Chains A and B, each alone.
Chain A
């Protein structure tokens, strides 16, 4: 990315030469910024803004006429909210403020919320440059507010650090109830805060031995003018055993009766008093680091025990993504609690204060009423850990770091039918830990990139600059894949879902909100013409034959998936590839569900069906199946995506399709009219499904209708995610494996059928 800096003309005249990212990328959408907040720490101030504009595809129903398409597609601009976070060294504050001033045209705001120790120091500068009034907010309450916000809205926010494990970061699924927790903020000193609810927190203790002690004392001991990072570097190369007095230096070995091992530090710096020798800078820095980390860990444990808390998050500039300190703190916590408490760290720890200050300023917009999602396209992700691994990226992280969060239109909650929400993990495979799988999927997404670019261009034939945008998309996504190859942990656990979502976010970023809209339209149109014929031929079958035919139809429909490369190749080259052909390709057997439930048990009260693709899948596979369920007296709730992803049917499209089908089919018509067939949004725009982040309305409907059967369809929703999800009611997960690598890994062939019917254990 460094190569872009010379090519940018916007603002580059005023930017410091050492700023390596193109400013128009860093300060995107600044023109429309609505609010500002800044957190001026010792080294890194943070600014962020709020913006509202995006492109969406809307569809509208047309009067039915022969030869006309089913519905009309148009692109519109929609107002939405996004949080932009930019983090930079405070050495750049002046150039950055200048840049903001030059580009701040449309803002109506008069104030900038500020927090952090430097808020006083830079107050005049900010007020002079930006002509905004600096409104100072309490540091600690901003920090807590920000912490609550990221814990609630970013699923893989918290992680455990394990230096020598295959993957250094083990991300934690956020407990649905984030409270209570302990936040240990290690700035110059240490504050230990107990957080009990959104507005209730208390500083229960602290210590004066913190980051400032490491830095100040470290500078004195090493007698050099060092930066904090450089001291850490020195420490990581040192040996503390030459400076510290260990248990074995006193005992000759372990102090067995107390269980103190020989390598334990008995007295920090204990050897520097007795030996008349010089100590290396590295060794002293290492000893100091151990001394301070152990001390903080010990105090944190004492407070955690006193208040009976086991979730302890560490933050502050002493931690801020430094592997060295994360390791020593983790070690200390393990030692003092004998492994009972894990030290937790946060991916966006450096942004907490600014987020909190922003939230305080935006209270009139009720930001906490919404759910927010991390935008992978605009966020730089967690930086490389090892200081030696990738110096270039290390340098980049020293200048700018970005985070973007989109306000989601719907408030997201857990599916009430999850057996244990606190242990639910949506993703089947963690590619952060599985190097072979990671290699495969990264390759797979890279291979598919050309096709996606082609599709994106084809979806906007009237726009001449589409090719140029598509090319930018290609570069952006390829860069993301490269980043993930080096740093699989950048956005939390790497999964097929995160790879797919990143692609959707990148497409959206370059105004390709729905590249499959036209394909979906055409396929829906074609499939609708066959609907009555399919229904009629099913009705001619005996009851038992029909049940099997319905399931085969459902599965065959699921073959039509543009998201799977094997299929998109076939569909691209053989437009005649049809429903019957798909049925012939299926491998496997599907009897369980029917023998166990439909035949034996009483009908279900209500079935919740998470649907997949448009076209043949939804119209010729799902609807006949739904029709049968309705016939048994089961109510049906169809859950579809709120926004587009691949060729998945969206809620908007499904509204039109259902009305079209209702117009042809009296069974669907009456069910729809009587609300026995209901359409809900999932709240998601992903080809995958996270059952812990679903539209609140969906959750309400599920509860009200006493849903006792959940059907999840498709590779994205039932294989890549939720394959192991445990529900508290009967569930059916079905998909066709349209990827030979995955089929092989699961022990089958391509076009194998996954048909997983599960009954929860009886209590």
Chain B
């Protein structure tokens, strides 16, 4: 599992090739956990199993089975631990591999509340290993957007990530980490920014009163950010040619909101859209600078901020293409936020 600032990501491998004897030997506790996880798609108020991401007929460690992807809010972790305790998870004598900051923060809680010892793993290493593994076993994992400048013809296209290095890996969770990856074990964290998915949701909650990521995204999809932002054309009447700035570019995010009348004339949807555009463009801009400084042309975006967030993905694809004059390509992965957890699972199966 990967315990982040906002979400806990859990991957669970369910062997499907269980023989009758094995079934016989399987202890009751394990069976009940397996059944609980695989027979539901929602757990408690906010736990979700992303069924569409499930990988079937996967070979792992000589077994064939399905890989399940489950997530729940980090603030529900106590409930999760309670469940682990009720289902006597600790009796299984299984090591629980955990990564993400929560592996450190909640280590004590795991021990005290559920009698579980955590095997803590570095989150960046898990992330990279997870990305490389999933990409190697899932044929159409990686994709890009064709014609990002043209909304009518902008479409997803698979991108074979055969020879991935060097790679800029941008993980957008609550915050953002940007890694330059040169090989499986050779990578560095280039920089990060605190303006990430947590900022988008946090600001949306304050500005619109919503409280769910999906709700915020839905509002954003219906809003018009250009009423909130001050565009180049709002200042110069058109393009600012002296500096090659197109009229449609945002000159000042939320710039129109300096004016009281305009504050009163916009909708919550407009605000959600502007927030999304602001955060996304900023990530694009920092990413582009890092790519240029590190001399890397291929950029892979991951993290749960991009979940069901086509708006941001297309925006990133467009921004990278436009401002780099076609030099940079934005790539995305279907299992957006689960790579850290997958990497932790791999560590469990193949301890180095």
Residues of A with Cβ closer than 8 Å to B? 42, 117, 138, 140-141, 187-189, 191, 203, 205, 207-213, 215-217, 219-221, 225, 243-245, 247, 249-253, 255, 257-258, 265-274, 276, 279, 284, 291, 294-295, 298-299, 302-303, 305-306, 336
> CB of B290 within 8 A of chain A?
yes
Which of A265, A268, A306 has a CB less than 8 Å from the CB of B289? A306
> CB of B251 within 8 A of chain A?
yes
* A270 and B202 within 8 A (CB): yes
Chain A residues within 8 Å of B260, by CB: 219, 225
**Which residue from chain A places its CB closest to the CB of B216 in the assembled complex?**
A273
Chain A residues within 8 Å of B292, by CB: 306
Known A220-B207, A302-B293; contact A267-B258, beta-carbon cutoff 8 A? no
Known A188-B255, A209-B253, A212-B258; contact A274-B105, beta-carbon cutoff 8 A? no
* B191 and A298 within 8 A (CB): yes
How distant is A609 from chain B, measured CB to nearest CB, in Å?
Answer: 52
* A294 and B194 within 8 A (CB): yes
Known A245-B198, A250-B105; contact A303-B254, beta-carbon cutoff 8 A? no
Known A117-B235, A188-B251, A267-B198; contact A138-B242, beta-carbon cutoff 8 A? yes
How far is B207's CA from A249's CA once the two chains are assembled, in angstroms? 23
> CB of B117 within 8 A of chain A?
no
* B198 and A273 within 8 A (CB): yes
How far is B75's CA from A610's CA once the two chains are assembled, in angstroms? 76
* A299 and B199 within 8 A (CB): no
How far is B289's CA from A302's CA once the two chains are assembled, in angstroms? 6
> CB of B203 within 8 A of chain A?
yes
How far is B206's CA from A188's CA once the two chains are assembled, in angstroms? 22
**Which residue from chain B places its CB closest to the CB of A202 in the assembled complex?**
B243
Contact with A along B166-200 (1 / 0, CB 8 A): 00000001110000000000000101011111110
Which of A257, A271, A276, A302 has a CB less than 8 Å from the CB of B122? A257
* A273 and B251 within 8 A (CB): no
* A252 and B6 within 8 A (CB): no
Contact with A along B229-266 (1 / 0, CB 8 A): 11000010000001100000111111111101001000
* B282 and A295 within 8 A (CB): yes
In the A-B complex, the 8 residue pairs with the smallest Cβ-Cβ separation, listed nearest first, are: A216-B257, A269-B202, A250-B101, A267-B198, A252-B105, A270-B198, A212-B252, A212-B255
How far is B229's CA from A213's CA once the two chains are assembled, in angstroms? 9
**Which residue from chain B places its CB closest to the CB of A223 in the assembled complex?**
B263
Q: Which B203-241 residues have a C-beta within 8 angstroms of A?
A: 203-207, 211, 228-230, 235
Known A252-B104, A258-B189, A267-B175; contact A189-B255, beta-carbon cutoff 8 A? yes
**Which residue from chain B places its CB closest to the CB of A247 in the assembled complex?**
B101
* B254 and A216 within 8 A (CB): yes
* A217 and B254 within 8 A (CB): yes
Chain A residues within 8 Å of B211, by CB: 273, 276
Of listed A141, A208, A266, residue having the most chain B CB within 10 A:
A208
* A298 and B286 within 8 A (CB): yes
**Which residue from chain A places its CB closest to the CB of B203 in the assembled complex?**
A269
**Which residue from chain A places its CB closest to the CB of B122 in the assembled complex?**
A257
Known A219-B258, A253-B104, A299-B286; contact A213-B196, beta-carbon cutoff 8 A? no
How distant is B26 from chain A, measured CB to nearest CB, in Å?
Answer: 35
How far is B158's CA from A673's CA once the two chains are assembled, in angstroms? 91
Known A266-B194, A268-B202; contact A207-B285, beta-carbon cutoff 8 A? yes
**Which residue from chain A places its CB closest to the CB of B210 in the assembled complex?**
A273
Q: Which B278-314 residues have a C-beta within 8 angstroms of A?
A: 278, 281-282, 285-286, 289-290, 292-293
Judged by DSSP, the binding face of B is: helix
> CB of B4 within 8 A of chain A?
yes
**Which residue from chain B places its CB closest to the CB of A42 in the assembled complex?**
B258
* A251 and B104 within 8 A (CB): yes
> CB of B271 within 8 A of chain A?
yes
**Which residue from chain B places its CB closest to the CB of A187 in the assembled complex?**
B252
> CB of B47 within 8 A of chain A?
no
How far is B97's CA from A735's CA once the two chains are assembled, in angstroms? 78
How distant is B60 from chain A, measured CB to nearest CB, in Å?
Answer: 28
How far is B192's CA from A298's CA once the two chains are assembled, in angstroms? 9
How far is B106's CA from A136's CA once the two chains are assembled, in angstroms? 62
How far is B292's CA from A299's CA once the two chains are assembled, in angstroms? 13
Contact with A along B136-163 (1 / 0, CB 8 A): 0000000000000000000000000000
* B257 and A219 within 8 A (CB): yes
How far is B203's CA from A302's CA once the two chains are assembled, in angstroms? 26
> CB of B15 within 8 A of chain A?
no
Which of A187, A255, A291 has a CB less than 8 Å from the CB of B194? A291
How far is B75's CA from A272's CA once the two chains are assembled, in angstroms? 13
Q: A208-B250, A258-B124, A267-B199 are in contact. List 16 more A-B contacts (CB 8 A).
A: A42-B258, A205-B289, A209-B195, A215-B258, A250-B102, A250-B174, A253-B105, A258-B189, A267-B5, A269-B203, A270-B6, A270-B174, A298-B193, A299-B286, A302-B286, A302-B293
Chain B residues within 8 Å of A305, by CB: 293
Which of B206, B228, B256 has a CB less than 8 Å from the CB of A269? B206
Residues of B with Cβ closer than 8 Å to A? 4-6, 73-75, 100-102, 104-107, 122, 124, 173-175, 189, 191, 193-199, 201-207, 211, 228-230, 235, 242-243, 249-258, 260, 263, 271, 278, 281-282, 285-286, 289-290, 292-293
Chain B residues within 8 Å of A255, by CB: 101
* B281 and A208 within 8 A (CB): yes
Q: Please, could you name 20 A-B residue pairs with CB atoms under 8 Å apart, sorted by A?
A: A141-B242, A189-B250, A208-B281, A209-B282, A213-B252, A216-B254, A217-B253, A217-B257, A221-B206, A245-B174, A251-B105, A266-B101, A268-B202, A269-B198, A269-B206, A270-B5, A270-B174, A284-B206, A299-B285, A306-B289
**Which residue from chain A places its CB closest to the CB of B228 in the assembled complex?**
A216
Chain B residues within 8 Å of A216, by CB: 228, 252-258, 263
Known A220-B254, A294-B194, A306-B289; contact A273-B205, beta-carbon cutoff 8 A? yes
Chain A residues within 8 Å of B5, by CB: 245, 249-250, 266-267, 270
**Which residue from chain A places its CB closest to the CB of B176 in the assembled complex?**
A267
How far is B122's CA from A138's CA once the two chains are assembled, in angstroms? 51
Known A208-B281, A250-B102; contact A267-B253, beta-carbon cutoff 8 A? no
Chain A residues within 8 Å of B174, by CB: 245, 250, 266-267, 270
How far is B243's CA from A216's CA once the two chains are assembled, in angstroms? 25
Chain B residues within 8 Å of A250, by CB: 4-5, 100-102, 105, 174
Chain A residues within 8 Å of B206, by CB: 221, 269, 272, 279, 284
* B199 and A291 within 8 A (CB): yes
How far is B286's CA from A265's CA once the two chains are assembled, in angstroms? 17
**Which residue from chain A places its CB closest to the CB of B255 in the assembled complex?**
A212
* B193 and A295 within 8 A (CB): yes
How distant is A182 from chain B, measured CB to nearest CB, in Å?
Answer: 14
How distant is A658 from chain B, measured CB to nearest CB, in Å?
Answer: 56
**Which residue from chain B places its CB closest to the CB of A227 in the assembled complex?**
B258
**Which residue from chain B places its CB closest to the CB of A267 in the assembled complex?**
B198
How far is B250's CA from A270's CA once the two chains are assembled, in angstroms? 24
Known A216-B254, A279-B206; contact A208-B198, beta-carbon cutoff 8 A? no
How far is B194's CA from A251's CA once the two chains are assembled, in angstroms? 15
How far is B120's CA from A257's CA once the two chains are assembled, in angstroms? 13
Chain A residues within 8 Å of B100, by CB: 250
How distant is B323 from chain A, measured CB to nearest CB, in Å?
Answer: 9
* B105 and A208 within 8 A (CB): no
Which of B74, B229, B271 has a CB less than 8 Å from the CB of A208? B229
**Which residue from chain B places its CB closest to the CB of A305 in the assembled complex?**
B293
How distant is B192 from chain A, measured CB to nearest CB, in Å?
Answer: 8
Which of B101, B122, B205, B243 has a CB less than 8 Å from the CB of A252? B101
* A188 and B202 within 8 A (CB): no
How far is B241's CA from A138's CA once the two chains are assembled, in angstroms? 11
Chain A residues within 8 Å of B4, by CB: 250
Chain A residues within 8 Å of B253, by CB: 189, 208-210, 212-213, 216-217
* B243 and A140 within 8 A (CB): yes
Chain B residues within 8 Å of A303, by CB: 289
How distant is B309 from chain A, measured CB to nearest CB, in Å?
Answer: 15
* B175 and A245 within 8 A (CB): yes
**Which residue from chain B places its CB closest to the CB of A141 in the assembled complex?**
B242
Chain A residues within 8 Å of B191, by CB: 298, 302, 336
